[in-house]
Each structure stands twice: as structure tokens, then as C-alpha cells.
């Protein structure tokens, strides 16, 4: 049995549950439930506060956990990242009152910075040879400058709208973060096997999300050109059309450079292009 800790409620919860469900785990998650067991996979899920997860993983109360990378770095527990998950992307930044002019990183010298991430800020200041005071608070960091508690803050930013509405501006990015799976180093054989199986499934789900199945009609003369643009997993499938000189070509295309490729394919004479989501992808 592998015990997985995920956030009980908050910004990581939905993505974590979705990931486990898309990986084929079937389980109930009632509102006030603290733990649950998957019906079809040897996994138990614990619902915890995200800040506590690294410690639980270190203590082996949970074997693995899903947390923001920011929490993993901040807590400095005996954890290792075993998978990056591509969701809950955000950054940790330093912000100062909008009315102030920013004179570069050196201007933070001697200032007071309010944050819920003292270790990350300490590390950042040390790397840049800055000595500033760190005021650790547990929430509502963005109001600290407004009430005279600090000169600057270091907090999570995704769109910047919270900063804006509190009269602040972002001046330094301290780190980028996304959801990650952390684990205790040295899991025993059985747990390591279950984790491997789960990571394999997660990879298939992740790949599928980043790729689309694409089919189109193309003149036979263009098959070579098109195959060079979208080689697919091994090579495209080519099926002759009833109409002379034409084929139907099926392949897989990466979501990231999708539109660029579509333009190229059209310039090669491809028509009737269909793009279909992929549920799982195993290479
Ligand atoms: P808990 O009650 O479990 O301690 P919390 O209030 O500390 O929750 P949340 O605000 O739910 O935490 O954020 C959890 C994690 O989600 C953060 O540590 C960060 O990695 C990520 N995150 C936070 N804000 C954003 C955002 N605006 N966009 C994307 N990801 C975010
Ligand atoms: Mg928290």
C-alpha cells in the first residue's frame, strides 16, 4: 500500500484529485474525509494542509505527497522530487509599493520583507549578498507594506492582480513553481513498485495532455513534406482515399507548436484537418 498525501482544500486540491482520477484510480472523496482508499489500486489518499505534507513525508506517515515546489523548497525536509506535474504554475516574487522607484536588487539592503517563505527569501538574499530583515507572517502578506509592517513582500504571484489591488508592484522573481510529487528517499520494494506504476500512468496522462491526434487529407506528393513536420510516434498512418492522388494522414502533434505546424500543413496542401484530444499516451 502506498500512501499519498494531497492538499485537503485549496489551489492544489482539484488538480491533484483530477490527476489521480485520470490515472485510473477510483475513490470517494467526501467533504470532511481525512483519508480514503482507492478501490482498484493499492493506494491510500490522505487529505492534509499543504504546509504539513513535507514533514509527513519525511516522517513516513505518507510515502509521497503532491505539493507546490515552493512548499518543497521552503520546508527543507528530507524529500525528493520524483515528478513535475505541470499544474499550479506560479512564481514567488518580491514586490514593493507601486509609488516607490526601484533601484535594483541592492536597494533591498536594510529593508524589511514580509513573507510566508522565510527560508526561500533567506536563500535568495544570501545569493545576492543582500542583508534585509525577514518578517515571517502566515497570511495576507500583501497588506504588510500598507499597514507599515514591512517595506516589501515576497509572495506567490500568478496574474499580479492581487498585487495591483494592494498598491504593489513586482520587482524580482525569486523562483518559479509548479505542483510536484515528493517522496521519501528509499521507499521499500513494494511501495517503490506501486509508485513506479503510478508515475507511468501519470506520464501517460501528462503526455496525452500535451499532444493531439491529427488527421487530414493531403495530396500524395505532400506526404513526405508533411511527415517531416509531424512524424508522430513512429511514423504517420497513411490511408489512400477513394479519390486518386489523395491520402488520409493520421499523426500526433505537440500542443505547444500546434498552430505553427497547422500553417505549414496548409501550405503543403493539407485539407479537412481534424484535431482530436488524446486521453492517454504510452510511447
Ligand atoms: P493550506 O490551507 O493547505 O495551507 P494554502 O492557503 O497555504 O493552503 P493555496 O493558496 O491553496 O495554499 O496554494 C497552494 C499552492 O498552490 C501554493 O503553495 C502554490 O504552489 C500554488 N498556488 C498558489 N497560488 C497560486 C496561483 N494563483 N496560481 C497557481 N498556483 C498557485
Ligand atoms: Mg498552506
So what's the pLDDT on residue 218?
97
- The 3-class SS string of 229-269 reads HCCCCCCCEEEECCCCCEEEEEEEEEHHHHHHHHHHHHHCC
Please indicate whether residue 51, judged by its CB atom, sits closer than 6 Å to ligand 1. Answer: yes
Superfamily of structural domain 90-177: Periplasmic binding protein-like II (3.40.190.10)
Please indicate whether residue 133, judged by its CB atom, sits closer than 6 Å to ligand 1. Answer: no
Q: Please give the C-alpha separations between residue 71 and each of 76, 184, 224, in angstroms, as whole numbers.
A: 9, 15, 48
Distance from C-alpha of 109 to C-alpha of 8, rounded to nearest angstrom: 38
Among 9, 12, 154, 181, say which to mutate for ligand 1: greatest number of ligand atoms within 8 Å of CB.
12
Which of 22-31, 105-114, 122-131, 230-239 is least confident?
22-31
pLDDT digits (tens, 9 = 90+) for 235-246: 999 999 999 999
Sequence ranges of the domains in the chain:
2-87+178-207, 90-177, 211-277
This prediction has a pTM of 0.89
Q: Is 50 exposed, middle or buried (0-12, 13-18, 19+ CB in 10 A)?
A: buried
- Judged by its nearest atom, the ligand closest to the C-alpha of residue 16 is 1
Cell of 167: 498598491
So what's the pLDDT on residue 33?
87
So what's the pLDDT on residue 30?
76
Distance from C-alpha of 78 to C-alpha of 100, rounded to nearest angstrom: 40
pLDDT digits (tens, 9 = 90+) for 136-195: 999 999 999 999 999 999 999 988 888 999 999 999 999 999 999 999 999 999 999 999
Q: Angle CA(155)–CA(210)–CA(207) in degrees, nearest 5?
A: 105
Decide: 66 and 85 in contact? Cβ < 8 Å.
yes
So what's the pLDDT on residue 207?
92
Decide: 132 and 113 in contact? Cβ < 8 Å.
yes
Which of 110-119, 131-140, 158-167 is least confident?
158-167
pLDDT averaged over the chain? 95
- Residue 31: pLDDT over 80: no
Query: May I ask the CATH architecture of the domain 2-87+178-207?
Result: 3-Layer(aba) Sandwich (3.40)
CATH number for 211-277 (one of 3.30.70.120, 3.40.50.720, 3.90.650.10, 2.40.30.10): it is 3.30.70.120
Tell me whether the CATH fold assigned to 90-177 matches the one assigned to 211-277: no
Name residue, grid cell 485549496. Answer: 10
Q: Angle CA(101)–CA(102)–CA(108) in degrees, nearest 5?
A: 130
Percent of the chain predicted with pLDDT > 70: 100
Distance from C-alpha of 156 to C-alpha of 179, rounded to nearest angstrom: 13
pLDDT digits (tens, 9 = 90+) for 34-68: 999 999 999 999 999 999 999 999 999 999 999 99
Percent of the chain predicted with pLDDT > 90: 94
So what's the pLDDT on residue 167?
95
So what's the pLDDT on residue 283?
85
Show the DSSP H helices in 117-257 as ranges. 118-127, 161-165, 189-210, 223-229
258: nearest Cα among 273, 279, 247, 238 = 273
Pairing of strands 80-84, 35-37: unpaired
**Ligand 1 atom with least separation from CA of 158:** 27
Distance from C-alpha of 97 to C-alpha of 106, rounded to nearest angstrom: 16
**Ligand 1 atom with least separation from CA of 157:** 27
Task: Please give the average per-residue pLDDT across 235-261, as a whole number.
Answer: 94
The closest residue, in CA terms, to atom 27 on ligand 1 is 158
Amino acid at each position: 500500500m502506498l500512501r499519498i498525501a494531497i492538499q485537503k482544500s485549496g489551489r492544489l486540491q482539484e488538480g491533484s484529485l483530477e490527476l489521480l482520477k485520470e490515472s485510473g484510480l477510483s475513490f470517494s472523496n467526501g467533504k470532511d474525509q481525512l483519508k480514503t482508499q482507492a478501490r482498484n489500486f493499492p493506494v491510500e489518499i490522505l487529505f492534509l494542509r499543504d504546509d504539513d505534507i513535507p514533514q509527513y513525508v519525511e516522517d513516513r506517515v505518507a510515502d509521497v505527497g503532491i505539493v507546490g515546489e515552493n512548499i518543497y523548497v521552503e520546508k527543507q525536509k528530507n524529500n525528493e522530487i520524483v515528478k513535475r506535474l505541470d499544474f499550479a504554475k506560479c512564481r514567488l516574487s518580491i514586490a514593493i509599493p507601486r509609488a516607490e522607484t526601484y533601484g535594483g536588487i541592492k536597494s533591498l539592503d536594510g529593508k524589511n520583507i514580509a513573507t510566508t517563505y522565510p527560508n526561500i527569501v533567506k536563500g535568495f538574499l544570501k545569493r545576492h549578498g543582500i542583508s534585509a530583515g525577514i518578517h515571517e507572517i502566515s497570511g495576507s502578506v500583501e497588506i504588510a507594506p500598507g499597514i507599515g509592517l514591512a517595506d516589501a513582500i515576497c509572495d506567490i504571484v500568478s496574474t499580479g492582480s492581487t498585487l495591483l489591488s494592494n498598491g504593489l508592484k513586482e520587482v524580482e522573481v525569486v523562483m518559479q513553481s509548479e505542483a510536484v510529487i515528493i517522496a521519501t528517499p528509499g521507499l521499500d520494494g513494494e511501495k517503490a513498485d506501486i509508485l513506479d506504476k503510478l508515475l507511468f500512468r501519470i506520464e501517460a496522462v501528462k503526455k496525452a495532455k500535451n499532444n493531439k491526434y491529427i488527421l487530414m487529407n493531403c495530396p500524395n506528393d505532400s506526404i513526405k513534406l508533411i511527415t517531416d513536420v509531424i512524424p508522430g510516434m513512429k511514423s504517420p498512418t497513411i490511408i489512400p482515399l477513394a479519390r486518386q492522388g489523395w491520402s488520409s494522414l493520421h499523426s500526433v502533434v505537440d500542443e505547444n507548436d500546434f498552430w505553427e505546424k497547422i500553417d505549414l500543413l496548409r501550405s503543403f496542401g493539407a485539407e479537412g484537418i481534424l484535431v482530436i484530444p488524446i486521453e492517454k499516451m504510452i510511447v
